[in-house]
């Protein structure tokens, strides 16, 4: 049975590799779909400028036309002059750097400061709903039918954010945007993974993140040139129009179509890929036969594991934790994703304090992420598991090293190295999860990964704000400890470099049994030699 399972899976991989291997079709298609990562920083990273907090003074008791420069320098910030028992009700802000931000528009200072942190967190909280629901929808209805509607919704939110004039509406738009982003990621990334051949999967799926670095630098550049909040957000919204060609260019996953029994549709997509890649496909009858054989094998293995070949949404969720290996993989995925995202955004929030120019600091943080998009040679050479664990350990070392010496330049260098390490780990885990999770749960697994990552991103602003009150380097210690544990937890995952992706939960369990059986003879031989060495000479 094990041999039959492997053969069916490999036949299906061979068909995809022949028609959807590395070629012009994949390169052009994945390059275009990666444009969304160029646009996403306008949502995820823009609060560093849209939510910037300029210097301010309490203006209670002064003329209504008073400005920041006209008031005394020693004025208190959060209570009126000479009245420490009362809270300030009117503030004036320094407009030398920012003409307006959400802080100046809605007075998000002093007792209202947590409302500012919440604007970043609500994006992540919306992403949690999108990750949970989006993963389910992509597994049930396909990648394309889920991506396109939320794509239109995120475009509408982009322009609406520039027009609203109250805090509640802005926060609601941020939450909806987070939902749409997370759903788009779950759909797009799984599709990119399933369109990539086994040999070049790491390269194609890693490079897809590269535009995010340039998007972060463009956010810094646009914010440097536009200092008014609504105009800046309008400028951020215009690039979202680049999403529209997805209606004509984005295909459905042929792998998902085969599992759903829609073989003719999968065949049409493979023909298109073969045409653009200038590759000769086998005859249609042969391809359809191979896909049908692979599908029967996949459904048979799934039915053997759970007694049915029909998987409901509830069953797919239960499959993530019912078997031993899937339970370990799911728990490790959640924790590692939480640690990586929390550290990534925590470092990003602090990076603006590393330079006298926040725009330069953010541009540098985007620049240092570019090498992280080219980690795939290391992933292929060392493997996914050691690469991810190594980058997380480097990040932890950099964070703990900030305690060696109180030097701002040293902290800047360590912070940038840590940003490179955690970004590399983030790029790897997105590939890694899609490779060790089975096809029927892959969309759900990506959704769970995004959920854990969003929780980490939602918590990190509050960690920075609250823990930094104990010591300015306390957040570094917290994030360093978390990524250290994540690096060790990664060692519990399987190596997937150069191996076919599992199709079902049964494949995951079978692959573990094969690895365990392969290592058992060596262990027994080693044990036998040890026992023989301990025998007395007469016994021999």
Per-residue model confidence (pLDDT) at position 233: 93
> Is residue 507 predicted with pLDDT exceeding 50?
yes
> Is residue 67 predicted with pLDDT exceeding 80?
yes
489: pLDDT confidence band, cut at 50, 70 and 90? very high
202: pLDDT confidence band, cut at 50, 70 and 90? low
Average pLDDT over all residues of the chain? 80
> Is residue 96 predicted with pLDDT exceeding 50?
yes
- Cα angle 420, 500, 438 (rounded to 5 degrees) comes to 80
Contacts for 490 with CB less than 8 Å, ≥ 6 apart: 332, 336, 385, 388, 389, 392
CATH code linked to domain 308-517: 1.20.1250.20
Per-residue model confidence (pLDDT) at position 174: 94
Per-residue model confidence (pLDDT) at position 530: 47
> Is residue 49 predicted with pLDDT exceeding 80?
yes
Task: Residue count of the chain, please give it.
Answer: 540
Rg (CA), the chain: 26
Is 92 strand, coil or helix?
strand
CA distance 430 to 458: 19
Torsion of CA 67, 72, 77, 78, to 10 degrees: -90
| Mean pLDDT calculated for residue range 322-349 | 88
Per-residue model confidence (pLDDT) at position 313: 61
Tokens 């990273």 correspond to what residue?
45
Structure tokens at 182: 């997370």
441: pLDDT confidence band, cut at 50, 70 and 90? confident
- Helix, strand, coil in percent for the chain, rounding step 5: 75, 0, 25
Per-residue model confidence (pLDDT) at position 5: 38
In degrees and rounded to multiples of 5, residue 92 shows phi and psi of -120, 145
| Mean pLDDT calculated for residue range 236-254 | 88
**Looking at 414-418, 448-452, 480-484, which range is the least confident one?**
448-452
Per-residue model confidence (pLDDT) at position 90: 87
Query: 476 or 238, which is more confident?
Result: 238
Per-residue model confidence (pLDDT) at position 393: 95
Taking the model in full, what pTM does it have? Answer: 0.74
| Mean pLDDT calculated for residue range 215-219 | 91
> Is residue 160 predicted with pLDDT exceeding 80?
yes
Per-residue model confidence (pLDDT) at position 532: 46
Tokens 């060609």 correspond to what residue?
245
Nearest to 437 by CA among 422, 447, 426: 447
Per-residue model confidence (pLDDT) at position 308: 41
90-95, Cβ contacts within 8 angstroms, sequence gap of 24 or more: 90/58, 90/59, 90/60, 91/56, 91/57, 91/58, 91/59, 92/56, 92/57, 92/59, 92/66, 92/67, 92/68, 93/54, 93/55, 93/56, 93/68, 94/54, 94/55, 94/56, 94/68, 94/69, 95/54, 95/68
If one counts every other C-beta atom within 10 angstroms of the C-beta of residue 286, the result is: 11
Per-residue model confidence (pLDDT) at position 333: 92
204: pLDDT confidence band, cut at 50, 70 and 90? low
Per-residue pLDDT tens digits for 360-406 = 888 888 888 888 877 778 887 888 889 999 999 999 999 898 888 87
Helix segments in 58-142, DSSP class H: 102-106, 113-141
Integer angstrom CA distances of residue 277 from 17, 22, 24, 274, 286: 11, 8, 5, 5, 20
Per-residue model confidence (pLDDT) at position 132: 74
449: pLDDT confidence band, cut at 50, 70 and 90? confident
**Looking at 44-53, 138-147, 309-318, which range is the least confident one?**
309-318
Domain ranges across the chain: 308-517
Is 57 strand, coil or helix?
strand
């Amino acid at each position: 049975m094990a041999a039959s399972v492997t053969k069916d899976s490999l036949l299906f991989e061979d068909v995809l590799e022949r028609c959807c291997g590395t070629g012009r079709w994949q390169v052009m298609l994945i390059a275009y779909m990666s444009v969304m990562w160029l646009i996403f920083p306008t949502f995820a990273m823009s609060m560093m400028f849209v939510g910037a907090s300029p210097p301010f003074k309490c203006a209670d008791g002064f003329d209504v036309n008073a400005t920041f420069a006209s008031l005394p320098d020693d004025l208190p910030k959060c209570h009126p002059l000479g009245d420490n028992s009362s809270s300030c009700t009117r503030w004036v802000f320094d407009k030398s750097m920012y003409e307006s931000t959400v802080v100046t528009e809605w007075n998000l200072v002093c007792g209202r400061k947590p409302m500012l942190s919440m604007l970043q967190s609500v994006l992540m909280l919306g992403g949690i709903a999108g990750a949970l629901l989006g993963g389910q929808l992509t597994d049930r209805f396909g990648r394309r039918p889920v991506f396109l509607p939320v794509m239109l919704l995120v475009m509408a939110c982009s322009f609406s954010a520039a027009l609203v004039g109250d805090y509640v509406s802005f926060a609601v738009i941020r939450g909806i945007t987070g939902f749409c982003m997370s759903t788009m990621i779950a759909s797009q990334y799984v599709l990119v993974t399933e369109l990539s051949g086994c040999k070049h999967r790491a390269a194609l799926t890693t490079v897809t993140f590269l535009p995010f670095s340039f998007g972060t630098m463009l956010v810094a550049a646009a914010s440097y040139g536009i200092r008014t909040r609504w105009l800046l957000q309008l400028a951020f919204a215009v690039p979202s129009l680049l999403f529209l060609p997805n209606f004509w260019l984005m295909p459905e996953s042929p792998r998902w179509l085969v599992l759903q029994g829609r073989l003719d549709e999968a065949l049409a997509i493979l023909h298109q890929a073969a045409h653009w890649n200038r590759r000769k496909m086998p005859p249609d009858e042969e391809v359809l036969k191979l896909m049908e054989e692979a599908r029967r094998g996949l459904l048979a293995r799934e039915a053997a594991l759970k007694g049915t070949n029909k998987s409901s949404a509830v069953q797919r969720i239960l499959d993530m934790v019912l078997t031993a290996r899937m339970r370990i993989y799911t728990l490790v995925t959640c924790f590692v994703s939480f640690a990586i995202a929390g550290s990534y955004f925590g470092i990003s929030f602090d990076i603006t304090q590393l330079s006298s120019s926040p725009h330069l600091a953010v541009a540098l943080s985007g620049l240092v992420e570019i090498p992280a998009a080219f980690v795939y040679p290391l992933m292929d050479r060392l493997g996914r598991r050691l690469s991810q664990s190594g980058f997380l350990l480097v990040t932890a070392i950099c964070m703990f090293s900030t305690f060696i010496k109180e030097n701002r330049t040293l902290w800047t260098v360590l912070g940038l190295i840590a940003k490179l390490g955690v970004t590399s780990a983030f790029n790897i885990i997105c590939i890694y999860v899609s490779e060790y999770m089975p096809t029927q749960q892959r969309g759900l697994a990506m959704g769970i990964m995004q959920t854990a990552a969003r929780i980490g991103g939602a918590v990190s602003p509050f960690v920075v704000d609250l823990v930094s009150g104990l010591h300015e380097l306390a957040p570094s210690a917290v994030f360093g400890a978390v990524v250290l544990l994540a690096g060790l937890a990664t060692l519990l995952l399987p190596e997937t470099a150069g191996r076919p992706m599992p199709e079902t939960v049964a494949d995951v369990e079978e692959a573990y049994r094969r690895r365990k059986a392969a290592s058992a003879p060596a262990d027994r031989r080693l044990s036998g030699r040890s026992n023989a060495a301990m025998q007395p000479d007469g016994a021999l």
